[in-house]
Chains A and B, each alone.
Chain A
Amino acid sequence: MVPTTQAEPDDRELVQTIRGGDSLAFEQLVRRKTSKVYALCYRIIGNAEDAKDISQLVFIKLWENLEKYDPAYAFDTWLYRMVTNVAIDFMRNKQSRDNAVNSTLRLVKTEAAAEQAVVVQRKEIENVFNEISSVLSPKQKTIFVMNQMDDMPSSEIAKILGCRESTVRNHLFNARKLMQTQLQKRYPEYARLWRAQ
């Protein structure tokens, strides 16, 4: 007897199966998308535990709203829309809570520090990003993350966020400008490296 290899169902097929009441198919979908959803949440939120909670919330919302998904559109676009909506909402609430705290975290480095040669390290970049991106609006940060770290073109981001491509480009430009200003204030040694375009 020749063993048959069954191809993995694609996202749309899985959704159809889930709609038929198969919770195992949903588990399969969650397993498939977890690392991507969590990574995006983590980059937007900047905190592992919060990112985990938000990712779980995204999947529960996905389960509740699966009937609304139109298979004519890409599943990932729909999923990312859910991720960005939940993450942006969370960030808005968090920012309003943290505003007072952030105002005391303005670290300014000396001119001498600016002249030091920088050995670029991943963990350090991550810390720098988390700190300087705190000045961005949740939407600006989301767009920056999707474009710069997830390599998404602005047309795709516009589809996900339901806005015009020019709006996305505008947000990107402003995000870079704001981050450059923060880099100059807090990490002048990196500001020489990274520039606003």
Chain B
Amino acid sequence: MINCPEFRSAFQPGTEDADVLAHLRACDRCLDHAAHVDPDVMFRALGTGEMIPPGGIDAFVEDVMRGVQIRTADTVVSRRVLSWPRRLAVAATIAAGFTGATLFMTHQQPAPAGTPVAALASHHTAVRALSTKPVVENYSSSNATIVEVPNEGASEAQVVLVVDDTLPADL
């Protein structure tokens, strides 16, 4: 590295000379001189060369290597999870769960009408039942509440209440 007298004689505004800049970044005595000759070197004098992180290089490298080991271990674990027996086990669990849920849902739903012929027959019965009770009046409302009273036996009539506060009381 050049010395102070060499620096002061070699220093020119706008210099790109690596030796001159290296001296500028290392020597506090020459910094003030250089900054008054060429103010533009003020921030250049800070430089980015050779800085030691807090705790020293060894501790820093140790931390990095520990971080790398942890990441590597994570990767190994995640790879192990993806090995074929585990994949098979996960797939079997999901399939069993899905099948169970489907069976449960099917069991909870009311029994289907059966064959299309049976469905058609029940539809005909409903039409026949309605035809014996003529419609008294039609009306539409967005405020009506429909209450369905559960019937206890198959022979009992289904009771349905339609409650609508907006309807006139004498209807």
Interface bracket on A: 35 or more
Q: Give chain B nearest CB distance to A69 CB in angstroms.
A: 16
Instruction: Please tell me if the beta carbons of B67 and A60 are within 8 angstroms of each other in the complex.
Output: yes
Asked whether, in the complex, the Cβ of A34 is within 8 Å of the Cβ of B31, the reply is no
**Minimum distance in angstroms from B73 CB to a CB of chain A:** 13
Q: Please tell me if B100 contacts chain A, counting CB pairs below 8 Å.
A: no
Knowing A31-B61, A119-B32 are in contact, say whether A43-B46 is a contact too (CB < 8 A): yes
Interface centre among B32, B40, B43 (most CB of A within 10 A): B43
A36 with B48: CB separation less than 8 A: yes
Give a binary string over A55-94; 1 marks a CB under 8 Å from any B CB, 0 the rest.
Answer: 1100110011000000000000000000000000000000
Main secondary structure of the interface of B (DSSP, over half): helix
User: Closest Cβ of chain B: how far from A127's Cβ, in Å?
Assistant: 11
Interface flag for B134 (CB, 8 Å): no
Interface residues of B (CB under 8 A from A): 16, 18, 21, 28, 31-32, 35-36, 39-40, 42-55, 57, 60-61, 63-65, 67-68, 71
Chain A contacts to B: CB under 8 angstroms: 23, 26-27, 30-31, 34-36, 38-40, 42-43, 48-49, 51-52, 55-56, 59-60, 63-64, 119-122, 125-126, 129, 144-145, 148-151, 190, 193-195, 197
